[in-house]
Amino acid sequence: MKKIVKITEQDLARIVKKTIEEQEMEEGLFDGVKDAYQGLKGVWRGEGYDYYKYTSSLRNIAKKLKKLDEPNHKTMIELNSLKSKVGASKMDQTKKQNLVDTIDKAIQYFNAYAGLIDKIDQIASTKLS
């Protein structure tokens, strides 16, 4: 027979926080070892450990940003759809063009931002051979 356990909101928050921390630890368990190895290779070649420490941090940040931006990519698809609807509408040409231009700028800025995150990820993932 299953037991019903009552916990407080504070207990639940603590459990969730601990679970998230453990998950983050498991994901990055070997990152420190890899970074130390790459850093030693860098020191041997005169490139330094700090480079790999910072590129590792950049790689982790880029990974987090990409995960956070998944809903934004869907929003950009919706903006493209909206732009098509605005373009086909019967509203005043000046207002229509203003809306289309604004939507285009938003999409353009987001794509530039996403491209920079990809570039950071690419640079941070470069290893010494």
pLDDT digits (tens, 9 = 90+) for 64-105: 888 888 888 889 899 999 999 998 999 999 999 999 999 999
The verdict on residue 20 lying in a domain is yes
Task: Give the residue from 1, 62, 55 showing the smallest Cα distance to 31.
Answer: 55
Please report the pLDDT score of residue 100 as a whole number.
Answer: 92
pLDDT value at residue 18? 75
Whole-angstrom distance, CA of residue 23 vs CA of residue 16: 11
| Residue 3 falls inside a structural domain | no
Domain range enclosing 54: 9-124
Render pLDDT for 21-41 as a digit per residue (tens, 0 to 9): 666 555 555 555 555 555 555
Q: Average the pLDDT over each of 36-45, 53-62, 79-88, 109-118 and give the range with the smallest value.
A: 36-45
pLDDT for 30: 53
- Tell me how many domains the chain contains: 1
Round to whole Å and give the CA distance between 122 and 129.
Answer: 15
Is there a contact between 124 and 51 (Cβ–Cβ < 8 Å)? no
